[in-house]
A and B are shown apart, each in its own frame.
Chain A
């Protein structure tokens, strides 16, 4: 009785089955065909219903409305804008306002978050308790609550322009917003820009040189006096040689309001303060967890090498903690950007407020406008996470892993 070895199963058939149906094989293939058919049917129903509904309500469709005149004013614009501009200009204005509040919020939140995290890890009992209380209080209140609190309760309690709170005779805080001196370009502006650029480049070169010396000869050079000298001296020199780079226009009380200077609208102040304080609490927890995830021995090794606590943190602990901190930090930055859409509740003219709010109610073209708005946020999310992934990749490369 001879038992022949069975022929090996056909590689091709197995691979095909795997490709079209995963581990479930042909059953899986049938399942996903059914799934796609159901999806397609739902999609068809949606499109047909939407078309019929739009026709019966006589709402135009398509993106033609973008070139129509908007006809409303926006309280804060980074680019020139007037009521006679088009809806696409409105979109741009809103997008820039969203980006402005997000970028400033991210910077502030990161700074506050790191400070609170260090406070929480401080050996000082009182300081760490205060930081902990801040984190618990802020994290357990809705962000919309905080935005409304700053806008309705705190900022509206500010005095009227005549009784403004003045700082250095140039900054005035009152119920109409924050008035700040406005720089007006002078003759030496280009020279100043060049000088700042040159200073930054030379500082970078100096740092590289100091590192090179340190790694090659083991001698540390103190570079900070030179850095300060370059950063302050060069622009100062440029100003002296080429004349004033800009003059400041100070806000002046004229009648019941301020004239001149630049005005930061209260909505912006409230939104930025609320978003940065809110996100800072989350960032503080992330940073604390990241720093605590670094082995205690690293801190002790740094101390035994004679480094100060600050140097140990800066040179040994934080670089290692950054790898743990970075992914959740990215998602907090994204959360801040997404939360900036709550501007609509207080009327800060961000993307959602002027585009998905005012433009939507004027044109009625819900489908297009909401699709564009969601698409923009999706794009921002993807871009931010791409940048952060790149940075994470750089860090992990520099750690040699």
Chain B
């Protein structure tokens, strides 16, 4: 027994240092950029990379760029007095050519009107909250191509009225005939009559002068080829997807062979095929327009790719859906058209948008078969001696690149948005 007293602390423990900050800007620097020697090295290297790529790009595009001028003299370093970046007056001078090609100046309102109509039909289709999606889609995929063809190519009012009537009746039947089709009929007729009035008032003696497709060019051709490609490839893709899922042997074999063939060859050979071989396959007195040939090739090519996308969507529909439809006594056509296909198409919207993006990029290939799309027009403009400066090529590529990038980037963001919306229930 001892009277030893247990240790009792007499003073406070010294304060520990505050923990290293892991939040805020300093914490961000510590945890994400400079936490280990390797990471510090990577950060320094990345910063150097940015310094040597982004800074010259910005200098080229904005700081050193020339903004006004009448010809190449404005963009020469000895006249400006400092190293010259982008030569923007060259783009301004060529802008109408980059957008319309050689479309006659007096008729350009038709192109603008077509662009406007496309935007008016497309925007409500892309915003999920707005109603009447199926009517809108019908108008865009069936009525709009006809109107766009008349506006861009030209033709008489009688033909326009007849095709308008046919399309309206088609839409009427498609959206349910006498039961539910009246709205579609009314909208379609109003749409055609409205455009007809515009054409009648603007056109020349009630008809639009014909503009040969050889005069089309620039962004116009890029958009025409890509939109026609996606519109025409949808029915081809749906038919091939159904054929590939069919149990009828010969139809399935044909669909598989057709899809795999077009997916196995490069687009450029398809375009060569359409340009050089297609004219041989039709009777000699029947000529196909150069743009039309490319469109046929691209539609078939894109159709084969879309078929696989749509088939993926159909595989994602549970079997019970079509079994339930069979149990209700629906025929195969009704099962497909009312139950399976609508659900499958909703599922594959992101996939279709992605295939549209690659189609949009691939339209640049038509410049190889002597059509002048955006890239082809820009490339052709490089030959102009009026603007020949050392930075002309880079300026042209910068302009075309910005246009292609904004279209594709916008569409890919939209596709991500739809994907998130469709998978909302799967989040977390």
**Chain A positions near chain B (C-beta within 8 angstroms):** 19-24, 28-29, 31-32, 35-36, 39, 45-46, 49-50, 52-54, 56, 122-127, 130, 136-137, 139-145, 148-149, 152-153, 156-157, 334, 338-339, 341-342, 344-345, 352, 356, 360, 366-367, 370, 373-374, 377-378, 381-382
Contact code string B393-406 (vs A, CB < 8 Å = 1, else 0): 11001001100110
- Indicate which residue in A24, A35, A344 contacts B254 across the interface (CB closer than 8 Å): A35
Interface of A is mostly: helix
> Would you call A22 and B248 a contact (CB within 8 A)?
yes
Using CB atoms, name the residue of chain A closest to B250.
A32
A-B contact pairs, 6 of them (CB 8 A): A53-B279, A140-B405, A153-B393, A370-B276, A370-B277, A377-B265
Interface contact B264-A381, CB-CB below 8 Å: yes
Q: A49-B282, A126-B47, A148-B379 are in contact. Are A24 and B332 (CB under 8 A)?
A: yes
Task: Closest B residue to A39 by CB, please name it.
Answer: B254
Q: Which residues of B contact A31 (CB under 8 A)?
A: 248, 251
Contact B265 A374 (CB under 8 A): yes
- Which one, B39, B49, B249, B400, contacts A20 given CB within 8 A? B249
For the A-B complex with A54-B280, A130-B49, A156-B393 known, give 14 more contacts whose Cβ atoms are closer than 8 Å: A49-B283, A50-B280, A123-B32, A127-B42, A139-B408, A139-B412, A149-B401, A338-B267, A341-B266, A342-B365, A344-B268, A367-B277, A367-B280, A378-B264
Q: Are A148 and B375 in contact (CB under 8 A)?
A: yes
Identify the closest chain B residue to A360 (Cβ): B276
B247 touching A370 by the CB < 8 A rule? Answer: no
Give which listed residue, B33, B248, B267, contacts A126 with CB less than 8 A: B33
B280 touches A366 (CB 8 A): yes
Q: Is the CB of A344 within 8 A of B247?
A: no
Q: When chains A and B are docked, how far (Å) is the Cα of A344 from the Cα of B49? A: 33
Contacts of B32 in A (CB 8 A): 123-125
| B265 in contact with A141 (CB, 8 Å) | no
Flag if B248 contacts A125 (CB, 8 Å): no
Chain B hits for A136, CB < 8 A: 409
- B side interface size, CB within 8 A: 60
Q: Which of B49, B248, B268, B280 is in CB contact (< 8 Å) with A28?
A: B248
Whether the Cβ atoms of B251 and A32 lie closer than 8 Å is yes
Nearest residue in A to B274 (C-beta to C-beta)? A370
Contact indicator A378/B265 (Cβ below 8 Å) = yes
Of chain A, the residue at the smallest CB distance from B406 is: A140
- What residues on B are CB-neighbors of A28 within 8 Å? 246-248
Contact of A127 with B43 in the complex, beta carbons under 8 Å: yes
Most chain B C-beta atoms within 10 Å of own C-beta, residue among A28, A32, A144: A144
- Cα of A139 to Cα of B175 in the assembled complex, Å: 39
Q: Is B272 an interface residue (CB 8 A)?
A: yes
| Interface contact B249-A19, CB-CB below 8 Å | yes
B280 touches A126 (CB 8 A): no
Contacts of A356 in B (CB 8 A): 269, 272
Contact B367 A144 (CB under 8 A): yes
A331 CB to closest chain B CB (Å) equals: 9
Q: How far is the CA of A144 from the CA of B194 in the complex (A)?
A: 40
In chain A, what residue has the closest Cβ to B49?
Answer: A130
Q: Is the pair B269, A352 in contact by a Cβ cutoff of 8 Å?
A: yes
Residues of A within 8 A of B408 (CB): 139-141
Q: Which residues of B contact A22 (CB under 8 A)?
A: 246-249, 252
Most buried by B among A45, A140, A374: A140
Contact among A143, A149, A344 for B361, CB-based, below 8 A: A143
